[in-house]
Amino acid sequence: MNGRKVPDGGILFDDEPEEDEDESSSVSESAASPVAIDWNEASAAGNDLRGAELIAEFVKRLPNAPGVYRMLNEAGDVLYVGKARSLKKRVTNYAQGRLHSNRLTRMVRETAHMEFVTTRTEIEALLLEANLIKRLRPRFNVLLRDDKSFPYILITGDHRAPAIVKHRGARGRKGEYFGPFASASAVGRTINSLQRAFLLRTCTDSVFETRTRPCLLYQIKRCSGPCTHEISDSGYKELVSEAQDFLSGRSQKVKETIARAMGEASEDLDFERAAVYRDRLAALSHVQSHQGINPASVEEADVFGIHHEGGVSCIQVFFFRTGQNWGNRAYFPKADPQLTSAEVLSAFLAQFYDDKPCPRQILLSEAVEEMELLGLALTEKAGHRVSILVPQRGEKKDVVDHVLGNAREAHGRKLAETASQERLLKGFAETFKLPYVPRRIEIYDNSHIMGTNAVGGMVVAGPEGFVKGQYRKFNIKSTDITPGDDFGMMREVMTRRFSRLLKEEGLPDRTTPPSLEDAVDMPFPAWPDVILIDGGQGQMTAVRGILEELGITDHVIAIGVAKGVDRDAGRERFFPPGGGNFSLPPRDPVLYFIQRLRDEAHRFAIGSHRARRKKEMVKNPLDEIGGIGPSRKRALLQHFGTAKAVSRAAVSDLMAVEGISEAMARTIYGHFHENDGA
């Protein structure tokens, strides 16, 4: 199979890493199934066949076997991914054209090629289908939008003094994981409370190993100081065991143990120690008070409620682990409005658990298609039995109703926000006399301090608000730019952004731009309709010069946004194409809309600049020496204390460090004494 470009599809990824524009990469089509699969590609009789006729030719050569099929358009973009118990019977339905909705009719008409993969079982087909949908983002499938990974609490297991830390991503580190939590802030709040309750360390192993005296956290009674043996190893292990018991649902046992210890300390008249236990109990109560509903009958489960109305689906998910509620999150999957809520929820669940650990129980607000098959597939994937239930009575039914109520409320807020955003985009088009309502607006800003650590930021907005998965940062690389030259920085950003866009996408088709209503099923555009520049006439001259050099002036509308003479919000001057400038009335909704866009670009650029500056500030001179990795760096710092002491050490002293050979010692010495003739 050949690698294909992943259609964007307008998918939102709120917590996806924001990377430099020059370093983003596309997804390759490597084998996705966890089992051995056999690729079969039928060939059509003629290259000119399209739609139902083409599909009918494929049907003649398909087996009565389970598998996954893909429908592609003429450009090679994947339109749809589906699975079948029998490929031949399933694909025959498309060729016959019976009972097709408008969506399926359009999909069949655009099909110019199909690809197939056979699997041993229908379960394997279901798992592979979910994996391919998530990777390829087919236009006609139900698409899971905000698909960032969930954060967990990790108590490490690879150190004599385990740490309690936030973890996101693959579970590669040894230790016990607790969660998932709905947000990183929820994890942060819980860890802060657990620090006060169990006095576990949160520092990194490298910081731990270099401590010679307790840090501030020990002084404010949020760490027991295992780094300098303020607590014995056995005493620290007891604290770790209590924390694990609490996070595993045995909170009452832990509280009784601490309360008993507090009473014993009081009887011994050791009121200072009793106060420590009192504060620990208060911290535990604080954690539990922030976990919301905790039903006794729901030990380990994910609870899903879906509300489908007005062509928009909202799926609310609550996470219960060890009998405790670890938060919730709302999802708005991209789906055809004609699909039922059960169809949307079924497709959502398969994608949701494609890369996430699955609990032993899943509770749903309504039954979904092939619920038994989905349960078997998740059981095989998780390695333990997974039951999927639709509760009809009792406490579990009350929990599902609560989740469903949250889904309705989130759905209502989403509809209101979307309608407001569409009105603002239409007002924006009228204000600047645009030929069509923009679907993609890019906003640019630069940030630096006296020209150092300069960063350009690009944020993106569309009909559904900010599209954070499309944000980009540009580390200013040119050495010809005078420090502090904002015009030069903007020229570099524009050149890099649109040169790459031209190379990857070609010129956009502006002949018949779709309306916002017609574009619902279309991928989110790669080309901006409008770019907003935080600056006045000077900035716009630089930007338009780059657009003219690249030959894209007629394809992108550039507008400058400059503050007035007093730099007061509400007095902005706008510099549209064609020259001239104007201001908007102080209470104009479009003015507020533009201010919000500009402020988001400013926030993103400032944040990117601060991150780069912080990275430069903590940079260690040892990082610049070839052959010095984390282990040797740690050994050198443990032996000498600081990088400055390493720079003053003789070759013989360097060789005394474990892992440093004579050749490496001379390399280190030469790095710091290159001008000494050594």
pLDDT for res 20: 40
* 524: in domain: yes
Strand 557-562, strand 530-534: pairing: parallel
Range of lowest pLDDT (169-173, 485-489, 616-620): 616-620
Whether residue 499 contacts residue 22, with contact meaning beta carbons closer than 8 Å, is answered with no
Taking residues 87-112, what's their average pLDDT? 82
Of 357, 384, 413, the residue that ends a domain is 413
Q: Let me know whether 223 and 310 are in one domain.
A: no
Residue 305: phi and psi, rounded to 5, are -130, 135
* 430, pLDDT greater than 80: yes
- Range(s) of the domain holding residue 480: 432-609
Q: Tell me how crowded residue 39 is: count the other CB atoms within 10 A of its CB.
A: 11
Q: Kindly report the CATH number assigned to the domain that includes residue 583.
A: 3.30.420.340
Do residues 436 and 578 both lie within one domain? yes
Global pTM value? 0.65
Output the pLDDT for position 317.
92
Q: Which two tokens stand for residue 654?
A: 């360097």
Give the pLDDT confidence score for residue 2 in this predicted structure.
Answer: 38
Cα four-point dihedral sign 619, 622, 628, 630: negative
Q: What is the mean pLDDT of the chain?
A: 80
Whether the CB-CB separation of 600 and 459 falls below 8 Å is answered with yes
Q: Are 154 and 166 in contact (CB under 8 A)?
A: yes
Q: Is residue 9 part of a domain?
A: no
Across the range 586-600, mean pLDDT stands at: 88
The pLDDT score that the predictor gives to residue 465 is: 86
- Single residue among 136, 171, 202 that ends a domain in this structure: 136
Domain co-membership, 516 together with 632: no
**Measuring CA to CA, how many Å separate 377 from each of 304, 356, 362, 386, 507?**
18, 14, 13, 9, 44
Determine contact, residues 295/391, Cβ cutoff 8 Å.
no
pLDDT digits (tens, 9 = 90+) for 597-636: 988 988 988 887 777 777 665 566 777 777 787 788 888 8
Name the residue among 71, 181, 69 with its Cα closest to residue 128: 69
User: What pLDDT, on a 0 to 100 scale, did the predictor assign at position 388?
Assistant: 92
Asked whether residue 199 is domain-assigned, the answer is: yes
pLDDT band at 293 (very low <50, low <70, confident <90, very high): low
Looking at residue 33, its pLDDT comes to 39
Please give the structure tokens belonging to residue 545.
């010069």
**Looking at residue 146, what is its pLDDT?**
66
Q: Can you give the pLDDT at residue 44? A: 42
392 and 477, same domain (yes or no): no
Q: What does the block give as tokens for 662?
A: 């004579």
Q: Among 108-122, 259-273, 408-422, name the most confident range.
A: 108-122
Instruction: Answer with the residue of higher pLDDT: 232 or 264.
Output: 232
- Token digits for 70? 């893909």
Query: Which of the residue ranges 264-278, 419-433, 476-490 has the most confident prediction, judged by mean pLDDT?
Result: 419-433
Report helix, strand or coil for 244. helix
Closest alpha carbon to 42 in 63, 66, 58: 58
Whose tokens are 């002036």? That residue is: 553
pLDDT exceeds 70 at position 124: yes
Per-residue pLDDT, averaged over 316-328, amounts to 81
Dump pLDDT digits (tens) for 524-582: 889 999 999 988 888 888 888 888 888 898 889 999 988 765 555 667 889 888 778 88
pLDDT at residue 24 tops 50? no
- For residue 458, the model assigns a pLDDT of 92
> Is the per-residue pLDDT at 417 higher than 70?
yes
342 lies in the same domain as 449: no
Burial of 518 (0-12, 13-18, 19+ CB in 10 A): exposed
What is the number of structural domains in the chain?
5
Q: Is residue 145 part of a domain?
A: no
* pLDDT given at position 294: 56
Residue 355 pLDDT level (bands cut at 50, 70, 90):
confident
560 in the same domain as 451: yes
Whether 394 and 520 map to the same domain: the answer is no
What is the pLDDT confidence band of residue 516, given thresholds at 50, 70 and 90? low
- Same domain? For 239 and 307 the reply is no
End-to-end CA distance of the chain: 56
pLDDT tier at 410 (50, 70, 90 boundaries)?
Answer: confident
pLDDT at 678 over 60: no
Task: Kindly state whether residue 6 falls inside one of the protein's structural domains.
Answer: no
Q: pLDDT tier at 390 (50, 70, 90 boundaries)?
A: very high
Q: Is the pLDDT of residue 459 over 90?
A: yes
442: pLDDT strictly greater than 90 = yes
User: Domain boundary residue among 230, 255, 289?
Assistant: 289
**pLDDT band at residue 249 under the 50/70/90 scheme:** low
Strands 472-475 and 67-72: unpaired
364: Cα within 13 Å, side-chain hemisphere: 19
Tell me what pLDDT residue 365 has. 92
Check whether the bond before 180 is cis (ω within 30° of 0).
yes
Same domain, 272 and 308: no
- Chain centroid to Cα 379, Å, comes to 26
Q: Is residue 373 part of a domain?
A: yes
Q: Which of 116-125, 180-189, 219-228, 365-374 has the lowest mean pLDDT?
A: 180-189
Do residues 398 and 532 both lie within one domain? no
CATH code where residue 652 lies: 1.10.150.20
Shared domain for 220 and 365, answered yes or no, is no
Following DSSP, what letter does each residue of 130-165 receive, concatenated?
HHHHHHH--TTS-B----PPPEEEEEE-SSSS-BEE
Q: What average pLDDT does this structure show over 263-267? A: 78
What percentage of residues in the chain have a pLDDT greater than 90?
13
Task: Give mean pLDDT, residues 16-35.
Answer: 36
- Pair (277, 369) in one structural domain: no
Question: Does any domain span residue 227?
Answer: yes
The answer to whether position 554 is within a domain reads: yes
Give me the CATH number covering residue 67: 3.40.1440.10
Q: Is the torsion defined by CA of 236, 240, 246, 252 positive or negative?
A: negative
pLDDT at 197: 79
